[in-house]
Amino acid sequence: MIISINNALKLLDQNIRLLYLRGLGIEIDFSCLISSNIVINLGYSQGHKGNIKISSKTQINHGVTLDAWGGSITIDENVFIGPYTVIYGHGGVKIGKDTLIAMHCRILSSNHTIPDRNSRIRSKPDVLLPVNIGEDVWLGAGVTILGGVTVGDGCVVGAGAVVTKDLPPYSIAVGVPAKVVKTRL
């Protein structure tokens, strides 16, 4: 077996990156492909350290942010996360296997309360709202998934959509807010 120096250095770089993430407390499989220039943070909330688990054959592209903020992010096997996607795990995020997340998507698992005008918004705690994304889901470019939403297995969400409510399995949804326009047969 002949391996070029370039390929050997890329493999070494990838393995060093995976070892570094494991050293930070990220549970990650060695079959994952993790680009450089990503942000992964466990964070703390109410004295509890966050949790991030990335299963086998997952690919995370450059510019991605995975920030648990003391919550959790669980990514099942064979998931693709496109460039510059942001996932905040305050309230918990679960992403099912074989899911495609295009570039510039946002997945948010919390919200702010809206106090009366005598209180500062920032002074109030986050409302934790878990997000569940099923298996074999495709989120188009620039999709936003808001907290408390479940995206069923096999859904397709069109580019730029904002998902504010649950999507039934095999739905095709588009728009702001996202509306189901079709079902995958």
Q: Which residues are catalytic?
A: 112
Structure tokens at 184: 């995958």
CA distances from 133 to 12, 31, 124 (A): 32, 22, 28
Residue 122 DSSP SS3: helix
Task: For 22-65, give the secondary structure using H, E and C.
Answer: HHCCCEECCCCEECCCCEEECCEECCEECEEEECCCCEECCCCE
Cα separation of 109 and 111, whole Å? 7
